[in-house]
Structure 1
Amino acid sequence: MSEEIRIYVADLAAYNAGHLHGVWIDATLELDDIQAQVSAMLAASPVEGAEEYAIHDFEGFDGYRLGEYQGLESAHEIACFIEEYPEFGGALLAHFNDLEQARKVAEEDYCGCYSSLADYAQELTEETTSIPQHLAMYIDYRAMARDMEYSGDLFTLETGFEQMHVFWNR
């Protein structure tokens, strides 16, 4: 992923008064730095006494949708997870909609990225089984992959052309 993971934090007092006032912030910065940028934005508000803010937009969350009233800490944790797992973090969060579960699956159940599930079935079979050379060409890895998927033993996330991330489903 080449896109910066950032949030647009809007000043709600200004917004309610008909002014667009906010700031784009790198959501992977330290939480204190994010809060300092929000405080500076509120201090520069065109409306006196501005205190409330909301996340009105976001970029780089790769398929995961932040809520408008998502807290800064939560948005920061999600952004850091996506930064840690840039190839599938956003898609995994969108799949589970739960950061802790997504983290557990990423750390414990990730099998790798393959161009197809059949490629994964072939790699797994060849690593775990001794296949006589004269029988190797008769193995139907696409059928094995289909059976693996139907059994519920694993799930996949497609994040691009021939980019299938495979996870055990425990």
Structure 2
Amino acid sequence: MERKQSHDNVQNNTDTTEASTEQEASPATRPHIYVASLSDYNDGRLHGVWIDPTLEVDEINDQIERMLRVSTDEGAEEFAVHDYVGFESLRLQEYDTIETIHRLAVGIEQHGDAFATYAEWVGTDQATTDGFEDCYYGTYQSMRELVEEWADSMGWTDEVTRLGDKLGIAPFLKIDYALLEDVFRTEWYVAETSSGVHLFTS
């Protein structure tokens, strides 16, 4: 399976069947997969359909079977996922099953890039929405925002201010946020992406 696989190298003699018409409606944002008939592809024909992988697995398989039935190749039985969109930074693998793709799509539909990052961390075979919710702590704009919010939630910021005022050393008593960032990177799983900093318990 290849991401954004180009179909330009296939002869432009696509069928005018229902499945071929559906393939033109390629979505741009939500998770979708393009499933193609392998026998048609090998014969130089582009025949397939875009499918919403958040549907139930049985419905996905039904759509694949319908696509194969309307192929001009009466022996069309095998299929492959030749393209996909809407999976954030996650790259689908050639060996991913429809069940795996469905599970990943549902997770991304619910949690976006954070789930994609989690799936890259634990592996696509292990990634589940329950597992994600068990270890996901939050997403922040930066590491500094993360550690400052953590220090505030623990009461450290107020305590440092109180102690500094009491001892008269407020200008010299500071939280070492850089060190705290290092601790988080060591003890937790921290992933910095274009959408923010995702934090997971390891």
Bin for the TM-score computed over the shorter chain: 0.7 to 0.9
Q: Secondary structure at the match of 1:90?
A: helix
- Secondary structure of 1:100's match? coil
Q: Of the candidates 112, 117, 132, which is equivalent to residue 143 of structure 2?
A: 117
Distance 1:98 1:35 in 2: 20
Q: Could you tell me how far apart the structure 1 residues matched to 2:34 and 2:79 are?
A: 10
Residues in 1 aligned to 2:113 and 2:184: alpha-carbon distance in whole angstroms: 23
In structure 2, do the counterparts of structure 1 residues 109 and 71 end up closer, same or farther at CA, with 3 Å as the change threshold? closer
Distance 2:151 2:130 in 1: 25
Aligned to 2:198: 165
Return the index of the structure with the highest Cα Rg. 2
SS of the counterpart of 1:126? helix
Q: Secondary structure at the match of 2:102?
A: helix
1:56 positional shift: 1.0
Q: Which residue of 2 aligns with 1:63?
A: 89
Per-residue deviation, residues 55-109 of structure 1 (Å, max 9, x unmatched): 1111111122222343212211111121121131112212222343564652222
| Aligned residue pair count | 165
More strand by share: 1
Corresponding residue of 1:89: 115
**Alignment partner, residue 140 of structure 1:** 176
Amino acid across the alignment from 1:167: F
Cα separation, 2, equivalents of 1:41 and 1:69: 21
Residue equivalent to 1:33: 59
- Does the 8 Å contact 2:36/2:80 carry over to 1? yes
Shift of 1:124: 1.9
Q: 1:70 to 1:111 in 2, by over 3 A?
A: closer
Q: Is there any run of 5+ residues in structure 2 with no aligned partner, and where?
A: 1-27
Contact 2:39–2:73 (Cα < 8 Å) also in 1? yes
TM, length-normalised to structure 2: 0.72
After superposing the two structures, state which structure 1 stretch, 12-21 or 100-109, moved more.
100-109
In 2, Cα distance between equivalents of 1:154 and 1:102: 19
Residues 98, 158 of structure 1: CA spacing in aligned structure 2 closer, same or farther, 3 A cutoff? same
CA–CA distance in 2 between the matches of 1:153 and 1:100? Answer: 21
> TM-score under structure 1 normalisation?
0.84
Identity in percent:
34
> How many angstroms does 1:43 deviate by?
0.8
Distance 1:81 1:7, change over 3 A: same
Between the aligned partners of 2:124 and 2:30, the Cα distance in structure 1 is 22
- Structure 2: how far apart are the matches of 1:57 and 1:68? 11
In the alignment, structure 1 residue 4 sits paired with structure 2 residue 38: no
| Structure 2 counterpart SS, 1:111 | strand
